[in-house]
Amino acid sequence: MTYDESTLTQLAEDAAAIVGRYPVKRSALLPMLHLVQSVDGYVSPDGIQFCADQLDLTAAEVSAVATFYTQYKRRPNGEYQVGVCTNTLCAVMGGDRIWDELSEHVGVGHDETTEDGQITLERLECNAACDYAPVMMVNWEFFDNQTPESAKQIVDDLRAGKDVAPTRGPGKVACFKDVSRVLAGFEDGRADEDQGAGAPTLAGLKAAKEQGWKGASK
């Protein structure tokens, strides 16, 4: 492994914290792979060996797991993972067109990264925000109700180093490595940041209030 001593010390400390959450050590593997991505920006050969050493597995066993899941990247990832949902509902509502225009604008295709290392594009499967279609995700934050123009603007702003806020989520999108650390189960103190719940989330509640229905609390 090529990690320097301080990186390795921090990794080992974090790995121990992850292992401590589970009754059986191997359960720590998925969060530990997110942890590796928070340091290396992808699941590196060093990261695979690190997980194997921590969990008494072989590198082959770790690789077999890592390659099963789409969030684990096999090549250095962009600072921003930009996914356009092209599953049926979003695709029909305009996701296909957003993908076409965005992909042409950025100049890379699915699972490819721009030369400046900023943007990795992905055609997403359903991300559970269908009431906000068409949807885009940047580093797993919600960008709802997109158009080709809004999607291109977001990517341009990200590449220009501007702060970009999701439509639901924190005040600003964090970089890929920072988000990976959260996914490893380490809080970043941003849970209270909020852009509002969004009209579709509250649509039924609003309709019930307008009708004066209090059925559930009678």
Partner 1 sequence: MTELVPVLSATWADEKSWSLDTYTAAGGYAPLKKALGMAPGDLIQAVKDSGLRGRGGAGFPTGMKWGFLPPDDGGPRYLVVNADESEPGTCKDIPTMMSAPHALVEGVIITSFAIGCNHAFIYLRGEVVHVYRRLLQAVREAYEAGHLGKNIHGSGFDLDVTVHAGAGAYICGEETALLDSLEGRRGQPRLKPPFPAVAGLYARPTVVNNVESVASVPSIVDKGVEWFTAMGTERSKGMGLFSLSGHVTRPGQYEAPLGITLRELLELAGGIREGHELKFWTPGGSSTPIFTQDHLDTPLDYESVGAAGSMLGTRALQLFDDTTCVVRAVTRWTEFYKHESCGKCTPCREGTYWLTQILKRIEKGQGTQADIQQLLDTCDSIAGRSFCALGDGATSSIISSVKLFREEYEAHVEQGGCPFDHAASALFEYADAPEEAHA
Please give the residues from 115 up to 154 whose contact with partner 1 meets the rule CB under 8 A: 123-134, 137, 139-142, 145, 147-148
Angle between helices 29-40 and 5-19 (to 10 degrees): 150
Buried b (16+ CB within 10 A) or exposed e, 89-107: ebbebbbeebbebbbeebe
Does 130 show up as a binding residue in the annotation?
yes
CB 96 to partner 1: min, Å: 4
Q: How far apart are CA 190 and CA 104, in angstroms?
A: 34
- For the CB of residue 30, give the shortest distance to partner 1 in the complex, in Å: 5
For 1, counting Cβ atoms within 10 Å of its Cβ (0-12 exposed, 13-18 middle, 19+ buried), the class is middle
Decide: 137 and 127 in contact? Cβ < 8 Å.
yes
- Of 117 and 171, the one with the shorter C-beta distance to partner 1 is 171
Report the site for partner 1 in 73-92 (rule: CB under 8 A).
86-89, 91-92
CA distance 58 to 73: 19
Annotation-wise, does 90 bind a ligand?
yes
Nearer to partner 1, 51 or 155 (CB): 51
Residues 74, 101: Cα–Cα separation, whole Å:
26
What's the min distance (Å) between Cβ of 6 and partner 1? 26
Closest approach, Cβ 197 to partner 1, in A, equals 6
Rounded CA gap, 125 and 97, in Å? 16
CB of 159 to partner 1, least distance (A): 21
Closer to partner 1 by CB, 9 or 104: give it: 104
User: Which ranges in the chain belong to alpha helices (H)?
Assistant: 5-19, 29-40, 45-55, 59-66, 88-90, 96-106, 148-159, 176-183, 199-211
Is 51 annotated in a binding site? The answer is: no
Q: Which of 2, 5, 116, 217 binds partner 1 (CB under 8 A)?
A: 217
Burial label for 60, CB within 10 Å (0-12, 13-18, 19+), is exposed
**Under rule CB under 8 A, which residues in 151-210 are in contact with partner 1?**
166, 168-170, 179, 182-185, 187-188, 190-192, 194, 197-208
User: From the list 82, 93, 121, 136, which residue makes contact with partner 1 (rule: CB under 8 A)?
Assistant: 93
Binding to partner 1, residues 11-50 (CB under 8 A): 21-24, 26-31, 33-34
Among 64, 75, 153, 172, contact with partner 1 (rule: CB under 8 A): 64
Annotation: binding site for [2Fe-2S] cluster: 85, 90, 126, 130
